[in-house]
Amino acid sequence: MSHIAYVNGRYVPLRKAQVHVEDRGFQFADGVYEVFPVYAGRIVNQDWHMQRLAQSLQGLRMGWPLAPGVLNMILPEMLRRNGVTNGGMIYLQITRGVSPRNHAFPGGKVKPTLVIMARAVNMAARHAQAETGVRVITVPENRWPRRDIKSVSLLPNMLAKQQAAEQGASEALYVNDRGIVTEGASSTFWIVRPDGVLMTHPLGHDILPGVTRRVVLEIAREKGLKVEEREFTLAEAVKAREAFLTSATNFVMPVTQIDGQILGNGAPGDLSLSLRRAYIERIE
């Protein structure tokens, strides 16, 4: 659990961390966030996460609350102050700031709000989960068209994750009105076709540009695997030889069931586990 938060230039006990009631993030979800994974006591893929944060800010026409170089110095300090020495995560959120409630952007100069928290993650439990794989369900795609922006507006994602939890699943996959699987509520989704080709949805406005996705693509190509970034249907997914999810804190997580339908032999696939091991070796 995070004990110290960073709020607008101050390190404060989490229980005393506060933002203004007229903060636009609170009233309009007018903000972005980023999750920085921590493994073996250090921040993983930090530069790429900062790049994605910059893209999200640009997408919402928001400014930086601090220079990126200053933020890069605060992040490891948050690990130190919160005693995160092994696996964990840093959550960073930036909103447009405090202004009297009005849908249009506030006039004049408004300073963005910055909140950062850090906490440990039980990586041993994640590793154990990967050995058995996870179940996922599907839900209709009902999010806004700019899923490439890491917005704090996550109500559809939250409801999808809750639906998954109520059905004993770990994740919900979005399926659009054409039957295309886009991504998970908090992850990138991949399949391995029966012919061994690795597939994931192409980048664009439909999905978040996952940083872990970016690393796994690099690893797969270094291994000489055939990779296709193209749309695929739910019908293709349930016939896949293997499937897995990627995300900042789950790394590569094998999927063994979709909507109760067993994939392959019902166990984590060899390629999924191989990519997970290679990913961990890379970040170590």
Closest CA to 212 of 185, 250, 178, 240: 250
What is the CB neighbour count within 10 angstroms for residue 193?
17
Cβ atoms of residues 169 and 134 within 8 Å: yes
Q: So which residues are the catalytic ones? A: 150
The DSSP letter of residue 15 is: G
- SS3 of residue 244 by DSSP: strand
Could you tell me the two tokens for 56? 């999200």
Q: HEC profile for 27-93?
A: HHCCEEEEEEEEECCEECCHHHHHHHHHHHHHHCCCCCCCCHHHHHHHHHHHHHHHCCCCCEEEEEE
